[in-house]
Amino acid sequence: MDAQVKKIWNEVKSGRFAPVYFLQGEETFYIDLIANYIEANALSETEKSFNQVVMYGKDVTMATILTNARRFPMMSERQVVIVKEAQDIQDLNKEIGSKLLLDYLARPLPSTVLVFCHKHKTLDKRRELGKKVDNYAVMLNSKKLYDNQLPEFVYEYIREKKVEIDDRAVQVLCEYVGNDLHRIANEIDKLTISISGGEVITTHQVMNQVGVSKEYNIFELQKAILQRDSLLATKIVNYFESNTKKNPIIPVVAFLYSFFSKLLMASQVPDKSEKGLASELKVSPYALRDYTLALRQFTLAKIIDNLTSLKDADLKLKGVNNGSADEGQIFRELIWRIMS
């Protein structure tokens, strides 16, 4: 949780609500976290009936939103107006809508808590609203986390749940789920339900939860490739090939393509120390070890060749120039080419 999010989060949790919040950005997790907390806690259950309005951007104009915002609360010290999917407000990016909002922001009603949830993008800073909104509203610009920031998010979220997790389990969770914070949080929520007090979340539990086989999974395959362990790689390929419905091949190919793409970047980094690679690749310290090993195992020409093989396999798996080969055959040939 960065400083901006933490400041807003601490304020709303302590009951200090601002007249206007404008929550925007690509990362929707923190937008939802703050808006949902305000929706659940700014008013008591009895106050919500008359003093809380939740609307969706595609259904309203700015005039409708502000008419609600200018109402006075009934038998309560405040009212709450939440606009979800605010990026879809019909006239937000038109002169009339922007002017109405800026006029309200200059003189907001102190007894109203107005929350805009503007997801997946930010206001255009070239326009007047984009330039001025942060002068009046509590602003959140929520950006997608880099891979190397995900473990910190997991540890922080785990601490909130008052449970513990081992380091390898954190790596598996981050690598398999990626930077989808909503899904990471959801997987952790499900894990914490299934464990008893004082128990540490293990790699095995994470693998079972997110659908990765304990014995043979995408991480074990990557490890076998990097260590040039052809026997283990063959066993894993056989395991995947025996049940492609449970272990779909296309996501595996995409995972390996992502790895070798970053490995290509790593091969071009002048400073190949751990610090230099971490800065350039934006990956966790755990994943960094794999890239360091891979740089010793694969030449630049081989990295490029592997990327070509992965791209070709992806096309064949999607039905392009695949002849009569099935998924298993395409996958087996791909792994052989990568390791040869």
The CATH number linked to 13 is: 3.40.50.300
Count of beta carbons in the 10 Å neighbourhood of residue 132: 16
For the chain, how many structural domains are there in total? Answer: 3
Does residue 136 sit in the same domain as residue 74? Answer: yes
Q: Are 23 and 138 contained in the same domain? A: yes
Query: Do 46 and 169 fall within a single domain?
Result: no
- Write down the pLDDT at residue 292: 86
List the CATH number of the domain containing 184. Answer: 1.10.8.60
Walk across the sheet containing 20-25 and list its strands. 52-56, 79-84, 112-119, 20-25, 138-142
Q: Do both 228 and 300 map to the same domain? A: yes
- Residue 139 is predicted with a pLDDT of 95
- For residue 215, what pLDDT is reported? 60
Regarding whether 238 and 302 lie in a shared domain, the answer is yes
Residue 102 shares a structural domain with residue 117: yes
pLDDT value at residue 49: 92
**68 shares its domain with 53:** yes
134 and 154 housed in the same domain: no
Q: Are residues 203 and 230 in the same domain?
A: no
The reported pLDDT for the residue numbered 148 is 82
- Tell me how far apart the alpha carbons of residues 303 and 306 are, in angstroms, rounded to a whole number: 5
Structure tokens at 33: 């976290």
User: Both 70 and 126 in a single domain?
Assistant: yes
Q: Give the DSSP per-residue string, 18-49.
A: -SEEEEEES-HHHHHHHHHHHHHHSS-HHHHH
Residues 264 and 303 sit within 8 Å (Cβ to Cβ): yes
User: What 3-state DSSP class applies to 141?
Assistant: strand
Place of tokens 């066993």: 235
Domain span holding position 136: 3-142
Q: Domain boundary residue among 160, 185, 210?
A: 210
Residue that the structure tokens 């997110």 belong to: 210
**Amino acid making up residue 132:** K
Same-domain status, 98 and 198: no
| pLDDT given at position 25 | 94
The last residue of one of the domains, among 116, 142, 168, is 142
Which of these, 175, 204, 182, lies nearest to 191 by C-alpha position?
A: 204
Q: Which of 241, 245, 223, 244 is nearest to 232 (CA)?
A: 223
The CATH number of whichever domain residue 308 belongs to comes to 1.20.272.10
Residue 92's nearest CA partner among 71, 115, 70, 65 is: 65
pTM: 0.67
Amino acid 40: pLDDT: 96
Q: Which of residues 115, 142, 169 is at a domain's end?
A: 142
**pLDDT tens track, the chain, 340 positions:** 788 899 999 999 999 999 999 999 999 999 999 999 999 999 999 999 999 999 999 999 999 999 999 999 999 999 999 999 999 999 999 999 999 999 999 999 999 999 999 999 999 999 999 999 999 999 999 998 887 888 999 999 998 888 888 888 888 888 777 788 998 999 999 888 877 767 888 888 887 777 655 467 788 888 889 988 888 888 888 888 877 777 788 888 999 999 999 999 888 888 877 778 877 887 777 778 888 888 889 999 999 999 999 999 999 888 887 667 788 888 889 999 999 8
Give the other-Cβ count within 10 Å of 54's Cβ. 13
Q: In 3D, which of 333, 337, 305 has the Cα closest to residue 317?
A: 333
Q: Is 97 helix (H, G, I), strand (E, B) or coil?
A: helix
264, 225: one domain: yes
